Structure 1
Amino acid sequence: MEEKLRCTQQVAIMIRHLRRKKEYSQEYMAAHLDISQNAYSKLETGKIPMTVDRLCEVARILEIAPTELLAEVKLA
């Protein structure tokens, strides 16, 4: 369970980093995902797990391959 949580948090950190790099707000991301800003915030902080479909949607908005969001995840 701890490993799963760590993975979720690492992906969330990567998403937050890339979103900020592109200067996108949480509101912008939420609007493009058709969810509330509060729900997006929970995704980005790792408080709720991200589905594969949602990961692909986020990657599309950030204009990157979904694998880039997973590239930094360290399983140990």
Structure 2
Amino acid sequence: METMTPVKKCAQCQKEIPLDVHNKMPFFPFCSQRCQQVDLGRWLSESYTIPVDVPEHQEMLKEIQEITSGDEEMGKEE
């Protein structure tokens, strides 16, 4: 009976990488330097984003604006 070597897919191109050799692969979890560079380029160009709750940030912005407008009014009184 043939035993299957566990594999992981390249994080970029989905090519299968045998897990028994991943310690010898300098670009793991990518299959090649090219896939690693493509992924890095996508992060640097902000193609990948982490979703945020926009209303939460809008509320924080409103609070900051209220605080700073209050500071400006205090400066006018002096």
Tell me the TM-score normalized by structure 1. Answer: 0.23
Higher strand share: 2
Larger Rg: 2
Higher helix share: 1
Tell me the TM-score normalized by structure 2. Answer: 0.23
Q: Greater relative contact order (Cα 8 A, min sep 6): structure 1 or 2?
A: 1
